[in-house]
Amino acid sequence: MEKEIIRLNIHFEEGFYTFSDQIKSQMRPLTEYTLGNFFTDDKPLNVEIGIGNGEFLCHIAEKRPDEHFIGFEVFRKIFRKAISKVQKKNLSNVKLIQYDASFFVPLLANNTVSNFYVNFPDPWPKKKHNKRRLLKPEFLKIISDKLIPGGKLFIATDHDDYAEEILINLKAVSELKPEFENYFVNELIDYYPTKYYRKFAIKNKVYFFKMVKL
């Protein structure tokens, strides 16, 4: 039996955010999904995976009003904080989606994203849970496919073991090359210090990765 292919109908409340309930209601067995464009023009598109309270996303979206930004976050309570931040700043170049980015990113068109940002992804520190980590070679390859030539992937983590795994996994994606000589640096002058960074990560060694698509 062949899978049915349907286009997801994403309705953004107030024009910029949507919750998982609206997406889950469209899910069916044996179905593949496609997406329409989230924006109506061809301005540069940026994606943050795991936006938390939206602090980082709002900061860069405010600085770059001529670009578009999509943010994904799983947890509803903290997602609502991101909605409030976008509202307070009256940002018209942001879309927020409360859903797992690992589902949505593969649906984005290839060669369309200028930058991906992944700030402090869940390290799943217990060894038995390591398989749940997001930044596996397969997902990094998908990210690479979605980036435009010259597009960049930014990753920050303060977890030593996860940083080691990210380094190994990035080396497995030949289309992505490091901008830093040793793949990562431990200080990044222009990194925006989010609440998580100020409260937790600044006490630890932080690993900043910046990759560019050839």
114-151 pLDDT tens trace: 999 999 999 988 888 888 999 999 999 999 999 999 99
Residue 89 CB partners (closer than 8 Å, separation 6+): 58, 61, 62
Sort strands 147-157 and 207-213 into parallel, antiparallel or unpaired.
antiparallel
164 phi-psi bin (left φ>0, alpha ψ -120 to 50, beta other): alpha
Annotated ligand binding at 41? The verdict is: no
Asked whether residue 180 is assigned to any structural domain, the reply reads yes
Burial (CB < 10 A; 0-12, 13-18, 19+), residue 157, is: buried
Is the pLDDT at 55 greater than 80, yes or no?
yes
Domain tally, the chain: 1
Q: Give me the count of residues in the chain.
A: 214
For 99, the domain range is 12-20+38-213
Is residue 163 in a domain? yes
Q: Are strands 207-213 and 4-7 parallel, antiparallel or unpaired?
A: unpaired
Q: How much is the average pLDDT of 78-92?
A: 97
- pLDDT higher for 50 or 40? 50
Would the annotation count 161 as a binding residue?
no
Model pTM? Answer: 0.95
pLDDT digits (tens, 9 = 90+) for 29-44: 889 999 988 998 999 9
User: Residue 52 sits in a domain of what CATH number?
Assistant: 3.40.50.150
* Closest residue by Cα to residue 48 from 36, 64, 28: 64
Instruction: Kindly state whether residue 33 falls inside one of the protein's structural domains.
Output: no
Domain contains 5: no
**Residue 53 CB contacts under 8 Å (≥ 6 apart), including other chains:** 78, 81, 82, 85, 195
Does residue 50 carry a pLDDT above 70? yes
Domain membership flag for residue 115: yes
Whether 25 maps to a domain, the answer reads no
48 is in an annotated binding site: yes
Q: Could you tell me if residue 110 is inside a domain?
A: yes
Q: Is 4 within a domain?
A: no
Which residue do the tokens 């976008």 mark?
A: 86
Three-state SS string across 138-202, please?
HHHHHHHHHEEEEEEEEEEECCHHHHHHHHHHHHCCCCEEECCCCCEECCCCCCCCCHHHHHCHH
Cα separation of 50 and 189, whole Å?
22
Q: Does 122 qualify as catalytic in the annotation?
A: yes
| Residue 49 CB coordination number (10 Å) | 23
**What are the tens digits of pLDDT across the range 173-201?**
999 999 999 999 998 888 898 887 887 77
From 21, 41, 42, 122, active-site residue: 122
What pLDDT does residue 69 have?
A: 98
